[in-house]
Structure 1
């Protein structure tokens, strides 16, 4: 298919296309049609016909795209690094737990702006199935909002308000599965052959058993196996996560077209970033674990190219919590380099922060970052300390062995430490999905409780409270200052909110201890952020100062790489960021003892009179416990 034919397929859906819009659209088609075709051809034999239908989907949605969003499209075309800039700071929250509903979120925008937030990820808010719904990830209707949160009109109004305040909304879009109650699944259960082809349905256990030989279990405790018998279907349906979450069949181009239409429709409501949930699972291949297959990246490239033509203001964030060697492909490698998602989660950074806090040793951290693949310069990582999910202790055996550790033993140590069972642990957490067969034990707990604040407050000892606060600020400084992406702050961490043990009182939550670290926002606690001397004031103002420093530091633009620097002190993490305006070297003390500044390492990076960009003062000769320094040769 050539540019003119594809352009006509789009423009034919638009009643009035002014000359400047026509020229802009032609340029977008010319730029992204090759990416679209390459992606489609890698998956669908009938790619040219699918591409022509893609043009129709783009045209229908582009005809309805509001003028203010068209203006944002133009702005983003001319500012393609908008999500990479140092002032992009993110916040993650459940709308109901943060502010009751979507209108409540709109009323709390001043709070977000006070902290310095430019990106808001609201956890699943599209209509889920009734009853168990995997925290909202079992979607029954992508075009409706949960009634308790509001309406689609409320979501559009919130997007408009956020955009006016310079904040981009990120929304979850589950790609791998829908709820059993979704209209596609309902039609399949009623025998509609078109919609039965939207799913993987088998008449007997022959194929499910063949796949199961190499498939892991995501939730072995409460959802063993990957297939579920459904009486209405008269067959076994693929259900990776839960019996009521049906995996969709992306080998059917109808599924691709449906999701493209959903993305563009939601983008027209004002959503700017889509978190592509469970993306790693979307392609199935017999004899594999059915994760991270090459077709996943080809499909994402095709989706991204189509959306770049129809809604260029939109960015994709891949929710792929996988090994580093698999993760980098979600930002693009080989033929897909820089052509897949704009963002992906840097899970390794998060795990290594917690690992070094427990061990007071950064050698494994440095080794893991040394081996971590370099991302494309037009992409970015989402960096974080905590999220809504559990922590899986993804410690590489290779990295562990390189610094003299046993990987399995270190993973056991971390799970015991952060449950609070290891002697001398400061943490309070819980095991999640413990697997006796593999020894895998993930961890639930709020950042503050895992970092020792809960234990310290119970002790009433001022020194322990101070250490816990400094530990939290150090941990935030590392992922905020990492510099290769958007730092994401989980709701309440800026106030030191602790574990919520009352989650067991809610029937829908009592069997899932991840709700331990999903508390409701305590707005009375938030008021204390303005009261000097309180824990809330120290954490909120400390984090706000970090974000302000990040925003004024050009070296933290995400296009530039971070280099871990080896140096002899195992308590220090040292990161270098070369930049045309001068190298930035970050030094972090992961211990409760003073440590000497690594002068030799600084001199090797060209810094002989270090100036700290955090305190905006010359660097001290020693780092206090859990100190953090962002050093340059001169004041910026």
Structure 2
């Protein structure tokens, strides 16, 4: 392909060359920069998007598989779009459709072909239609591909593209420090045209790690990003990106080259597709996760991974101590960045982000309680050859079936409290579809697949779901309607802007509370949550409400004219006390 004559004048060429020189010191960075620019030659740079246009309090995100709702005779992506338009158009602004490509395992995360939509879900037209009505987030499963992919077939046969795309290990490599999220063996013996090789598998032997030390692997993924942009994707989730770059003798996680790849992708999207957001999926301890903001030049958004285990622990024990301590140490997101707050996902409740925040005894109590409520546990291999709990596999609705003392009648209230806490925090709230729908543990799914994660990946029949959501006596109707109402309340309240000021309130142990103030300082919200199954007293004077303002609870609509009053706060009740 002939390169346009204005490549030398492109203002993005120099920063691209800097990124590429760091990653590939033995290659010509100028030539590689020209290759990158050629990939995006159809995109017209428009300048950076103003920060105030990146997100607002009106934003919230739905996480779903393309076939979480199925209807015989219809493409699941069409059914999903119908569900969004009928039930969520007034509350949800963005949709994360989990991997929608053909795959061989891990419910989509072992991608066979990134350029195609799984025909069992639909095609690119359905993806583009959803993107036309909602901000669409898609996964770039960047660390590995399926063993059934064309690239890996070519690797075994010794032909390109693919022959040099995969990470191999040699007999003398020191792999003792490698950090992994699985207990399976790291290396997979593979017969190739060049003899027996041992390929790297961070996750499973069906998910073969790519070798980004080859610049052509990077170019392949930039072409995939271009394709997704052309179909309307505007948020990219870089899956398992922390493991991307490997060097034997190191931990092979969060290496400097990995951060440089994220910075390079950020440079590209900021220049060629301003307004596109990058979110890094790094399910690791909190201090490691925060590094992916970089110097405001890596991810726009990072997952608030520690929230889920700490919040579940708080609601199961009735103790706010650990949740409060964590929140007080969390830095405000840098300008132009924010957090994605979530309490449930397709992967379950990650426990690595709780390391250093919950003691081993508290973690064990959490694990055993969730097990009593039907949950499962997945482990990971540690550097010393042992195993630790990696994640809790459970429907969040069922994880909150009771407390450490056993089941009780407060499941719905406790669950609504969990989601309301998430909605109030600094950042953008993300709702897993099975949380919105109060889906219980899918034990039949686990039995059918023999995979723990299937417990929280139920597939709803569309007509059955419609019936349950319309049945005012069903728990699904009750949860969905109240969550939708609270999301819509939140959208109208400026203190819930993702970057509005936040301070932790020092109320008594049963409460988890914080204060949010709008960016123009005209409105405040005191978010107060009773974490216990008992009625608690709340002295309004403890909140230091400004006397000149009129205050009310936005959730209940109750006016609070006497600022010296003592409120009786019901079990798991949430208050949004605001002055407007």
TM-score relative to the length of structure 2:
0.89
Q: Given the alignment, which residue of 577, 586, 589 partners 2:530?
A: 589
**CA positional deviation for 1:455:** 13
**Mapped contact 1:428–1:454 kept (Cα < 8 A):** no
Pair 1:553-2:493 in alignment: yes
1:239 matched residue in structure 2: 201
Q: Structure 2 unaligned segments of length 5 or more: list them.
A: 561-565
Q: Distance in 2 between matches of 1:374 and 1:321?
A: 19
1:299 matched residue in structure 2: 261
Q: Given the alignment, which residue of 483, 486, 501 partners 2:426?
A: 483
Pair 1:145-2:117 in alignment: yes
Aligned pairs for 1:504-583 (under 5 A) are 504-506=446-448, 509-510=449-450, 512-523=451-462, 524-567=464-507, 569-579=508-518, 580-583=521-524
Q: Distance in 1 between matches of 2:179 and 2:299?
A: 25
Q: Given the alignment, which residue of 554, 576, 580 partners 1:630?
A: 576
1:324-348 Cα shifts (integer Å, max 9, x gaps): 111112122xxxx111112221111
Q: Distance in 2 between matches of 1:347 and 1:607?
A: 39
Q: Distance in 2 between matches of 1:605 and 1:352?
A: 32
1:324 matched residue in structure 2: 286
2:239 matched residue in structure 1: 277
Q: Given the alignment, which residue of 96, 105, 128 partners 2:80?
A: 105
**Mapped contact 1:562–1:577 kept (Cα < 8 A):** yes
* Gap change, CA 1:605 and 1:381, over 3 Å in 2: farther
1:374 matched residue in structure 2: 332
SS at match of 1:617: coil
- Structure with more helix by fraction: 1
Aligned pairs for 1:20-419 (under 5 A) are 30=11, 35-45=15-25, 46-59=28-41, 61-62=42-43, 77-99=48-70, 101-114=76-89, 116-129=91-104, 133-159=105-131, 163=132, 165=133, 167-192=134-159, 195-202=162-169, 204-207=170-173, 210-211=174-175, 213-220=176-183, 224-232=184-192, 234=195, 235-332=197-294, 337-394=295-352, 396=354, 398-400=356-358, 407-419=359-371
The alignment covers a number of residue pairs equal to: 559
SS at match of 1:274: strand
Q: Distance in 2 between matches of 1:469 and 1:225?
A: 41
Q: Given the alignment, which residue of 415, 421, 443 partners 2:392?
A: 443
**Mapped contact 2:446–2:453 kept (Cα < 8 A):** no
Between 1:248-257 and 1:359-368, the stretch displaced more is: 248-257
Q: Given the alignment, which residue of 550, 555, 562 partners 1:614?
A: 555
SS at match of 2:513: strand
* Gap change, CA 1:231 and 1:410, over 3 Å in 2: same
2:563 matched residue in structure 1: none
**Mapped contact 2:201–2:209 kept (Cα < 8 A):** yes
**CA positional deviation for 1:537:** 2.7
SS at match of 1:496: coil
**Mapped contact 2:181–2:380 kept (Cα < 8 A):** no
**Mapped contact 1:179–1:185 kept (Cα < 8 A):** yes
1:202-260 Cα shifts (integer Å, max 9, x gaps): 4x4222xx12x11234221xxx2211111125311111111122111112221221111
**CA positional deviation for 1:120:** 0.9
* Gap change, CA 1:244 and 1:497, over 3 Å in 2: closer
**CA positional deviation for 1:353:** 0.9
